[in-house]
Structure 1
Amino acid sequence: MSTLHNFLFNVYPYICLTVFLMGSLARFDRDQYTWKSDSSQMLRAKQLRWGSNLFHAGILFLFFGHAFGLLTPSFIYEPFISPANKQLVAVYAGGVAGVICFIGLTMLLHRRIFDPRIRLTSHRTDLFILIILWVQLVLGLITLPYSLSHSDGTAMLQLSHWAQSIFIFQPNAAEIVNLDFAYKIHLVLGMTIFLLFPFSRLVHVWSGFATVAYLFRSPQLVRSRRLGVTPSVSTDASRKTA
């Protein structure tokens, strides 16, 4: 088990990140026509509208919450909030966002599975990635009671130290060796989603983040051009007529 633990939390993260980055770049370079979300908006648009809005609102909050929560060093926020209180904020805020995301994703998954027309127009990878995201959300909600039981903030600190050590290329799987099993499954499945990212419809997330660049573009100056009247050219026929 120690060998498996070291592989999953010391080596596997770098495999997933490498495939995530290089695979996304390769797909953009070679298969740009597949770089899309394959929307089924024309079929059952009302359920899609509710499900998609709830899912995206929840998943964006969870993504940035996990990113800033795990990768922010403790010395930055400790003057303002203790690790224990930070963990409580993460549990309650993440719990609300998780429930919202879960409802939206369940609606999207329901229409993909139980609507014959949508099921026929869906790729297998579409359904597969939705199921994985649904399971990951369930696992994330399961970890909430475990986080409340560690009210001193130790679980959050261990997860943060592990994530930060991965990003500074000093992996230390021992940081999370004593965590509950639910946390470890949640981490492994989360890394697996990054591994599958370039081969699924999730690649359109890159395009969503890229649109932020439009906020910083210099304004385009558009001038109207007045069309001049071209002089008429007389012909021999017109002269004869005159």
Structure 2
Amino acid sequence: MTTAEEREKRRQAGSFGAVADAYERGRPPYPPEAVAWLVPERARAVVDLGAGTGKLTRALRAPGREVIAVEPSAGMRERFSQVLPGVRVLDGTGESIPLPDSSVDTVVCAQAWHWVDPRRAVPEIARVLRTGGRLGLVWNSRDLSAPWVAELERILRDYAAAPTEDRQVDRVVTPFGPVERQDFRWSHPMTAEEIMDMVASRSYVITLEDAAREELLGRVRRLLEAERPTEMPYVTEDYRAELESL
């Protein structure tokens, strides 16, 4: 990755706080079966890394389990605290987690692993995990097998490239064991306005010049007016790896 690409990646990664409300309205939750596959039932302390407004956090909560959110954006942390006032949210990143050594059972990162530097994040996550702990990575991806969703994707790609093309899953290395993958197909009920919020909360849309962003959003709105969708089909991509040794 060139220096210019790294600067653009940092700019996009830091853009979410400005659209925290749209993010909360437009981003989907995570299906329970995908969360159950990621997080062992025995896990008593779980970190939601890059928690955003708490979309995954809500699904991670369970009786007898403490969930701790870690989120670098002040705007996102503020919105998180409004939505989930009873959950601890800390200022931190994948490369710097403000928790003691060997203090949690599972670290889960939703929609955010592509933003981290795995060379630093992998040992940092291993540091906070207890022996036998687990790292889980998850992405909700729009299901392009639906023609109108494929057209939505084509519109978006006319303006910017998604930063998620490199999942960096292959960079989960020692002291973690092999990475397993499981996909879950499902649909999330959404209004046209919620789909607009989903589009507007993408980093590569937030950081467009004003004129280009308005043009893109106008094209998306016209597509939705023609198609009148009532749900968004998703594929949830789950990855998990166990901590083997330090």
Q: TM-score, normalised by structure 1?
A: 0.28
Higher relative contact order (CA 8 A, sep 6+): 1
Larger Rg: 1
Q: TM-score, normalised by structure 2?
A: 0.28
Which structure shows the higher strand fraction?
2
Which structure shows the higher helix fraction?
1
